Structure 1
């Protein structure tokens, strides 16, 4: 993905899992470059095979592309945010792997809606008609409009307001209000059929329970389902988020800042049983999928763990850390302490990195004083968890360093991970 590896100091900093501006900037810049590349790849694919795309879909795709260009000239920051939003990555990955036909046409139609959402945030005037597939107009990063049936929908955007009305004047008559102040990233809405995304308290993270690309179908074993708005306890999520952010700030302010800045969306999952579950999608860095948490410590651990899966997936796209195994041979697998099944080297690295981040968190939580406001029960729990996971991470790092599947950058990355874990081990002390 990149012509040369990053500054060794940046790679070493990322290996420690500790938050830092240089590492965050490297990942953000690389993610955006990759999104631009994927979007251009989709454009080239459509132009090369335009005869296989339905004419109406092709017109909408080209209109969406032109609208994106208009929005970028007016507010490049808003367009960048739209392209880098997690569900945009899932949409691109899905569209680029879908064979020509009705399925691909449906994915291509999403580009115009993505461009409309960006244009609305950018403050552009609009007067256009879009098709409501399945009676829904999704506006990525903003919300969705339920129009009551398939057909044309008119979007009329003026200086301070946006009206979204069914083509025959019936059904939805949603109104969005544009605000003169702010970054242009959000609008407020009302009216029949309008459902806006909810921002979690204290930052820009959104509770993403509306976007059609927030979770591919059939993910996980057993398959997981994304909770829709009707299944989402908005007040419960807001309360859990507030409690978790408070606990994380008291434990590790740098990590609390990183979570607030790097987690763009929390995607609620429908619970299966009583056990809390977290997940990430490689195509959607910045989104954390999770079931409702069993208390603040549970949410804190899920956020930190899953965020580091996301960070490592992005880093590997930019700087390959391990080699791709030949498709004609089964890859070697290894046993790690946190899984019952055997794992390939890529999964060993992912697990070791996420658990190193938790070990760092637990190490700090176990050492903070009583005056920090961190509950004693959380400090005791963290000290025990650190002891439990420490040796498992040591063993996983040894497996990785003995493997011949790592690249030179990957081997140095793992050495830096081992060095950081050793620094945590040397400072261990009993909880007072």
Structure 2
């Protein structure tokens, strides 16, 4: 598995700082993330060997099979290694091996080799560890056998694939996205508007799909999956026709959606720096909400990938700041993530408000007004914090300049008042819960 050096050209860096970048920038960042995953997968092999782990030999065999398949089918192996959960699994396995954690299981690398063999039609038999009879094949699906099973054999050839243990055989369907006896497939969602497609996998089974998330959702029912498909179809049409650069970035960055449990109010969504390309979200209520969620989380994905190449903030010194979109005080790295995400959200509502009428227009104007002010205030806080690197200061200054360019765009007084009221209520609530002398000052309400 070959690597290359990754650099961000100056103009691309500036475009990213302005909140955009388009397909070219996201493709560049995604390529760097692929290299990161390749290094992590190799790191599992090296860490298992270095600590003399009992599964080191099995890990070596799995890695060698993966490398052999790559020589004949590089695209297949690249797609398997890029799957978001693979990076999280590899990183955590390396840390477990280095710390001597007895739960470390590097031989699960065999699951990646098995997926590559199945997708490429390579003839092979390979042993794959199971957890209480469950075998997760990243990006493909999950086989469920007896809870006593700790290891299975995946057998495949160009015609079929099956998972076998203790006399039980689970046959993987010709279309692995489909469920079958003992098999849970990773379903796909797709949409196409004006010749522009998007294809994503619903990963609602991999234990590494969104690490450390406490509100992971259950596996979607078929009816729920159909609802997600219908909402994606409408949201994608909205993005392609009216937010084209955002649509291009979403299509290039996001490959996986994973469900979250619904909150008491509104919608939840998140991304993880460990799982580039995956967006976790509760069921979106409508197309507009899904569209702005994808815009928001793609911003997080872009920035997280960029941070692997260019350090924008200094090490955490314990300082905490007010973020108008959070209930807790935030360190500078978290503050930057939020400001960058809401730069994208502001840009979405800036365009979307001109497509709406009635109360929907009022809502869109209020969102544009509120997040324009919030992101601008936080950008200034970041610049004044003294906790940005030189590239980070350049980046945030460009963010602030973009927001300043929108400051003069008129918003109806009623919508602006709604945005200001929501911002004031959040600020007051935050101060009640967090207002302490060591927290960086919160700006006064607008107009005071």
TM-score by length of 1: 0.86
Q: Counterpart in 1 of 2:174? A: 177
Q: Is the 8 Å Cα contact of residues 174 and 190 (structure 1) preserved in structure 2?
A: no
Deviations 1:83-138 (A, max 9, x none): 12110111122112223243112xx1321101211222122112234343311121
The runs of at least 4 aligned residues of structure 1 exceeding 6 Å deviation read none
Give the equivalent residue in structure 2 for 1:215. 210
Tell me how far apart the structure 2 counterparts of residues 123 and 397 of structure 1 sit (CA, whole Å).
51
Q: Does the 8 Å CA contact 1:336/1:343 hold for their aligned counterparts?
A: yes
Residue aligning to 1:158: 157
Q: Specify the SS of the correspondent of 2:104.
A: helix
Q: Is 1:136 matched up with 2:149?
A: no
Structure 1 window deviating more from structure 2 (230-239 vs 314-323): it is 230-239
Rounded Cα–Cα distance in structure 2 between residues aligned with 1:68 and 1:197: 21
Decide whether the 8 Å contact of 1:210 with 1:229 is kept in 2.
no
Task: Determine which of 194, 199, 214 is the counterpart of 2:188.
Answer: 199
Aligned counterpart for 1:304 among listed residues 295, 305, 308:
295
Within the alignment, does 1:18 sit opposite 2:5 as a pair? Answer: no
> Residues 40-87 of structure 1, C-alpha deviation per residue, up to 9 Å, x if partnerless?
33322111111xx23xx3332122111111121011122122112110
Alpha-carbon distance change, 189 to 207 in structure 1, aligned in 2, over 3 angstroms: closer
**Distance verdict in 2 for CA 1:19–1:430, change over 3 Å:** farther
User: CA 1:147–1:276 in 2, change beyond 3 Å: closer, same or farther?
Assistant: same
What residue in structure 2 maps to residue 88 of structure 1? 86
1:391 lines up with 2:405 in the alignment: no
Residue by residue over 1:358-398, the C-alpha shift from the partner in whole angstroms, topping out at 9 and shown as x without a partner, is 11111111234xxxxx6665444222211111111111111
Residues 222-259 of structure 1: per-residue CA shift (max 9 Å, x gap): x3233235698212222222222222223312212322
Per mean C-alpha deviation after superposition, the further-off stretch among 314-323 and 296-305 is 296-305
Residues 354-373 of structure 1 mapped to structure 2, 5 A cutoff: 354-368=341-355
- Quote the Cα distance in structure 1 between the aligned partners of 2:7 and 2:144: 47
Which position in structure 1 is the counterpart of 2:328?
341
Q: Secondary structure at the match of 1:163?
A: strand
Query: How has the CA–CA distance of structure 1 residues 34 and 131 changed in structure 2, closer, same or farther, with 3 Å as cutoff?
Result: closer
Residue 371 of structure 1 corresponds to none
Aligned residues: 402
Q: Say whether the 8 Å CA contact 2:339–2:375 is kept in structure 1.
A: yes
390 and 145 in structure 1: CA distance in 2 versus 1, 3 angstrom threshold = same
Q: Displacement of 1:294 after TM fit?
A: 2.2
The answer to whether the Cα contact below 8 Å between 1:19 and 1:255 also exists between their aligned partners in 2 is no
Contact 1:232 1:268 in 2 (8 A): no
Q: Distance in 2 between matches of 1:410 and 1:248?
A: 29
Higher mean C-alpha displacement, 225-234 vs 273-282: 225-234
Q: Measured at CA, do residues 167 and 26 of structure 1 come closer, stay the same or move farther in structure 2, by a change above 3 Å?
A: same
Alpha-carbon displacement from aligned partner over 1:295-346 (angstroms, at most 9, x marks no partner): 2222222221122112111111110011113xxxx52122232234322111
C-alpha spacing 1:336/1:273, structure 2 compared with 1 (3 Å): closer
State which drifts further: 28-37 or 385-394: 28-37
Q: Judging changes above 3 Å, is the alpha-carbon distance between structure 1 residues 22 and 129 closer, same or farther for their aligned structure 2 residues?
A: closer
> Which residue of the partner structure matches residue 406 of structure 2?
424
Question: What is aligned with 1:184?
Answer: none
Compute the TM-score of the two structures, normalised by the length of structure 2. 0.83
Mean Cα deviation higher: 288-297 or 14-23: 14-23
Give the secondary-structure state (helix, strand or coil) at the position aligned to 1:250.
helix
RMSD: 2.5
* Cα distance change on mapping 1:190 and 1:292 into 2, 3 Å: closer
Distance 1:248 1:375 in 2: 18
| Aligned residue number for residue 100 of structure 2 | 100
Runs of at least 5 residues in structure 1 that lack an aligned partner in the other structure: 179-186, 369-373
Match of 1:413 among 381, 395, 402: 395
SS of corresponding position for 2:386: coil
